[in-house]
Amino acid sequence: MALGLSAIFGVIRLVNFAHGELMTLAMYAAVVAFQGLALDPFVTMVVAAALFAGVGYLIQRAFINRFVHRPEHAQMLLMIALSIIIANLLLLGFGPDARNVQTSYQLDSFELGPILLDKARVYAACAALAATAALAAFFRFTLTGKAIRACADNPLGARVAGLPVAHLYAVTFGLGAACVAVAGCAMVSLIDVTPTLGPSYTLLAFVIVIVGGLGSMVGALLGGLLIGVSEALAGVLIAPSAKSMVSFGLLILVLLVRPQGLMGGGRR
């Protein structure tokens, strides 16, 4: 069920080391909204997505756009700096204890013949699928979406054609942040949140994106599915604690043999 969620991660192409931290931030937002205003995480989701889109847009505009022409490692370091700041500000604000959200339907489940499905998980998966579908539609059918894809293909060409590249990059980042917010709000009803949650999710997101292929949305979905299934299988066949070993093994294999990912195009 977490597959759908992880798929969202894969959609933006920036090498973003602050991904997990942004998600943790969204999770805390959901916790606060729940405790303070008694808002359901799935309601918070909509607000948080809008808010994060704005914040993401500003982050890109303020920091990252200056780095587009710098070497790759400078961008990575910038994102690492942001992630350290977010994680530790959360630690400052909320302390190291785990927080969670208790919803009324958390322990309910749907019965589908012999299969029992947790309600919270079903809702989370639906939200993930909806967000993915919305994003796919956006990229395929709207002008802005098409323009963003043009930028990704060939930034110079896009600029020559008169597209506001900096603005479009910022929009992309905002969209990515919005997706992360959706993921965070959905996750908060499934797992507890602590300030140090970020890095492991950043890495998970990377595994999925790389395995699926950078910049390929189908690949991201497929990567999420593949990782989810192989982790679940490894958990059953080997040992539950060893399951993420499989995904990192898979990541290494894909990086070595097919760095463009399973669904990525021929060009790197």
Residues forming the site for other proteins (CB under 8 A): 15, 63, 66-67, 70, 72-74, 76-78, 80-85, 87-92, 95-96, 195, 199, 203, 206-207, 210, 239, 241-242, 244-245, 248-249, 251-252, 255-257, 259
Toward other proteins, which CB reaches closer, 72 or 111? 72
Minimum distance between the CB of residue 184 and other proteins, rounded to whole angstroms?
19
Toward other proteins, which CB reaches closer, 13 or 149? 13
End-to-end CA distance of the chain: 31
Minimum distance between the CB of residue 231 and other proteins, rounded to whole angstroms?
12
Minimum distance between the CB of residue 62 and other proteins, rounded to whole angstroms?
10
Kindly state the helix (H) or strand (E) to which residue 109 belongs, with its residue range. strand 109-112
Minimum distance between the CB of residue 252 and other proteins, rounded to whole angstroms?
5
Q: Quote the CA–CA distance of 70 and 194 in Å, as a whole number.
A: 33
Minimum distance between the CB of residue 200 and other proteins, rounded to whole angstroms?
8
Q: Quote the CA–CA distance of 251 and 9 in Å, as a whole number.
A: 16
User: Measured between alpha carbons, how far is residue 78 from residues 36, 68, 206 in Å?
Assistant: 33, 11, 17
Which residues touch 224 (CB under 8 Å, ≥6 apart)? 3, 4, 5, 6, 7, 9, 10, 208, 212
Q: Return the structure tokens found at 22.
A: 């942004």
Minimum distance between the CB of residue 186 and other proteins, rounded to whole angstroms?
24
Assess contact for 245 and 203: CB atoms under 8 A.
Answer: no
Q: Return the structure tokens found at 152.
A: 């990704």
- Can you tell me whether residue 53 is helix, strand or coil? helix
The burial of 226, by beta-carbon neighbours within 10 Å (0-12 exposed, 13-18 middle, 19 or more buried), is given as buried
Toward other proteins, which CB reaches closer, 104 or 241? 241
Toward other proteins, which CB reaches closer, 12 or 182? 12
Assess contact for 207 and 27: CB atoms under 8 A.
Answer: no
Toward other proteins, which CB reaches closer, 86 or 178? 86
Toward other proteins, which CB reaches closer, 74 or 236? 74
Q: Quote the CA–CA distance of 31 and 189 in Å, as a whole number.
A: 9
